[in-house]
Amino acid sequence: MELLIVTLIGLMLIAALAAVEARDLLSSVICLGAAGFSLSVIDLLVGAPDLALTQVVVEVVALVLLIRVVVTRRDTSSSAPRDALRTGAVLLAGGVLLVAAAFSVGVFAAGKAGVIPPFGQPLLAGKGPVAPGVSKDYLGKAADETGAANVVTAVLLDYRAYDTLGEATVIFASIIGTYAILRHVGRREAPADAPAGGAKGG
Amino acid sequence: MPPEEGMTPIVRNTTRLVSGFIVVFGTYIALTGHLGPGGGFAGGVILAAAGALVVLSFGRRVSSSLITEPTCHVADAAGAAGFLALAMLGYMVGGFFVNFLPVGRLHRLDSAGIIPLANLAILVKVGAGLVGAFLALSAFRPGRRSVLDDGTADGRDGRREI
Amino acid sequence: MSMAIYLLTFGLLIVGIYAVVAKKNVVKIIVGVLIIDYAVNLLLVLVGYRTGGQAPIQAADETAAQMATVAVDPLPQAMVLTSIVIGLALTALMVAMAIRLHEKYGTFDMDRIRQLRG
């Protein structure tokens, strides 16, 4: 099982690299779709069916939106010389991040666990260096207190409903931002008198 | 494929047959969120996928007379207001967002208090919001270009408003 | 093996950051933001996995106490569920900005846009 998950994450990594480096914009969007669908399979294998379902549908709609952008003008991204300074800075920062990640996972800890418990032993099992959190209580009491068989929904809409309200607000704000950006279609219907936006108030 | 007129009759007839099922499926996933995987967010995005299918198959002109933009705006705001109203009604029992409906037996559709109602509110909100955003994106007609293709600008006069 | 899983996920994050910082095409930058989103969601879901565990949904014939010993952690899954849909709304917003930029400047290239802004 772990080998399968490592293979799928490797597939996501290759798809992401292909998406970033492809010359044709449509090809890079399709490689991103491949990465998203393998993420959904990983979610299914790790025991999160809600997430797999949501990720598949979200990936489909995101692909439709991105292809809408790309078909606007099917140009290839120009083969500008690679910006050496920025690439070097990102690689340096990435190296520092990987070393920090290795510390937290426990590569340099000589056999003892790092800050993140090893894969397969979640914090609620109580074996890690940190005391188990509230997840054990959620799992045990969700059916009696909330009556929901799906503990994830019970956590989202009963124990942590305030966070869901915040998230609905964030989605609301994003959609309103989309409306606001695309709003000025009507103003451009005027005959060709002023340039975009009307510097003289047209 | 001109975006105004829509697609071939095969695509349009298939959409007529299938889009109703997709809407029902999305509503089912949202309403049984407390019994199995799913929930309001997955159902809302499935509704948005159905909306995108209708907009793409029938073209912008026909579908924006079918699903008008004010409808989407009103439904979006109604979903958000409904969710907030459910939260405020919890004050009747004790506090903000308290589950005030009876808990009921496990595995029944009407168990779990306000959770199915909250899922319904989120379904309406997310679905209508994303359909409206998609409609706005496809209805956007590019106006005159401000700068020409080869990099020169046409008659810049002082400040240019972004 | 568990270290390889986490380190590969961090590698995915670095690929996303590279695409946002060092690429000049607006669509590539959007792709980079989405890759960062996937990497963070993946890491959060992977932290909550229990070996041989099942999904945290109670079947019709088991008690809550039985489920609590076999299920995976439900709390990261709840966080990631909201994060996935927020990623979709973010994609819609970025796509609207990209369409606007293309309509105003005629290109997706950030260097040309910086030259033309005046």
The rounded percent of chain A whose pLDDT value lies above 90 is 32
Integer CA distances (angstroms), A63 to A46, A119, A179, B3, in order: 24, 31, 20, 17
Q: Judged by CB atoms within 8 Å, which residues 37-96 of B form the interface with A?
A: 37-39, 41-42, 45-46, 48-49, 52, 56, 73, 76, 80, 83-84, 87, 96
Query: C78 to chain B nearest CA, in Å?
Result: 11
Is pLDDT of A126 > 60? no
pLDDT at B131 over 70: yes
Find the mean pLDDT for residues B105-132: 85
- For the cut 60, the answer to whether the pLDDT of residue A129 exceeds it is no
**For the purposes of burial, counting CB atoms within 10 Å of the CB of A164, is it exposed (0-12), middle (13-18) or buried (19 or more)?**
buried
Phi/psi region, residue C70 (left: phi>0; alpha: psi -120 to 50; beta: rest), is: alpha
pLDDT of residue B45: 94
Q: Closest residue of B to C95, CA-based?
A: B137
List chains adjacent to chain A, taking adjacency as at least 3 C-beta pairs closer than 8 Å. Answer: B, C
> Which residues of C fall within a CB distance of 8 Å from A55?
84
Q: Side-chain half-sphere of A153: how many Cα atoms within 13 Å? A: 35
Share of chain A above pLDDT 70, in %: 75
Cβ within 8 Å of C, A 117-146: 117-125, 133-136, 138-144
User: Using an 8 Å Cβ cutoff, are B23 and B2 in contact?
Assistant: no
Q: What is the reported pLDDT for A111?
A: 60
Residue B100: the pLDDT is 67
- Record: contact B137-C96, CB cut-off 8 A: yes
Residue A193 above 50 pLDDT? no
pLDDT grade for A35, boundaries at 50, 70 and 90: very high
Residue B71 neighbours by CB under 8 Å, 6+ apart = B128
B-chain CB neighbours of A68 within 8 Å are 137-138
How many angstroms separate the CA atoms of C31 and C16, rounded?
A: 8
Interface membership of A74 toward C (CB under 8 Å): no
Mean pLDDT in chain A? 79
The residue ranges of every structural domain in chain A are 1-74, 124-185
Under the banding of pLDDT at 50, 70 and 90, the label for residue B38 is confident
Q: Does A157 touch chain B (CB under 8 A)?
A: yes
Band of pLDDT at residue A80, cut at 50, 70 and 90: low
Domain extents in chain C: 2-52+65-116
Spatial distance between the Cα atoms of B52 and B135, rounded to a whole number of angstroms:
8
The verdict on ipTM greater than 0.95 is no
Give A71's contacts in chain B (Cβ within 8 Å).
Answer: none
Asked whether residue A194 carries a pLDDT value surpassing 60, the answer given is no
Contacts of C99 in chain A (CB under 8 A): 68-69, 72, 182
What is the domain partition of chain B in residue ranges? Answer: 9-138
pLDDT at A159: 85
| Averaged pLDDT of chain B | 79
**Which tokens in the block code for residue B118?**
């909250």
- Whether A20 sits inside 8 A of C31 (CB atoms) is yes
Contact B39 A152 (CB under 8 A): yes
**Assigned CATH for C2-52+65-116:** 1.10.287.3510
Residue B152, classified by CB atoms within 10 Å of its CB into exposed (0-12), middle (13-18) or buried (19+), is exposed
C25 forms beta bridges with: C109
- Structure confidence at residue B141 (pLDDT): 64
The minimum CA-CA distance between A58 and chain B, rounded to whole Å, is 7
- Structure token pair of residue B98: 């308290």
Q: Which of residues 84-103 of C touch B (CB under 8 A)?
A: 84-85, 88-89, 92, 95-96, 99, 102-103
Higher pLDDT, B46 or A135: B46
Q: How confident is the model at residue B128 (pLDDT cuts 50, 70, 90)?
A: very high
Q: Residue B89: pLDDT band by 50, 70, 90 thresholds?
A: confident
Whether B3 has a pLDDT exceeding 60, the answer reads no
* Whether C70 contacts C53, CB under 8 Å: yes
Asked whether A110 and A58 are in contact (CB, 8 A), the reply is: no
Six token digits for residue A87: 């690439």
Q: How far apart are CA A10 and CA A8, in angstroms?
A: 5
The residue with greater pLDDT, B139 or A23, is A23
Would the CA dihedral through B5, B138, C27, A37 be positive or negative? negative
- Asked if A36 lies within 8 A of C45 by C-beta distance, the reply is no
- Of B49, B122, B129, nearest to A175 by CB-CB distance is B129
- The whole-angstrom separation of Cα B14 and Cα B74 is 29
Q: For chain B, list the contacting chains (3+ Cβ pairs, <8 Å).
A: A, C
Decide which of B85 and C116 is more confident: B85
Which of C68, C84, C89 is the closest to A139 by Cβ? C68
Q: Go through A74-97 and write b for each residue having 16 or more CB atoms within 10 A of its CB, e for each that does not.
A: eeebeeeeeeeeeeeebeeebeee
Q: Which pLDDT score is estimated for B158?
A: 33
* Strand partners for A120: C50
In terms of CA atoms, which chain A residue is nearest residue B119? Answer: A157
- Write the pLDDT tens digit of every residue in B144-161: 444 444 444 443 333 333
Q: Is C87 in contact with A58 (Cβ distance < 8 A)?
A: yes
Interatomic CA distance for residues A35 and A20, integer angstroms: 12
Which residues of chain C are under the pLDDT cut of 50? none
Q: Which of B147, B150, B154 to mutate to test the interface with C (most CBs of C within 10 A)?
A: B147
d(CA B142, nearest CA chain A) in Å: 8
Residue C84, both tokens: 């996935």
Angstrom distance (rounded) from CA A30 to CA A16: 10
Report pLDDT digits (tens) over A94-114.
888 888 888 777 766 666 666
Question: In which element (H, E) is residue B44 found?
Answer: helix B40-66
Percent of chain B clearing pLDDT 90 (strictly above): 33
- B142 inside 8 A of chain C by CB: yes
| Cα gap A65→B133, rounded to integer Å | 10
B60 pLDDT band, cuts 50/70/90, is confident
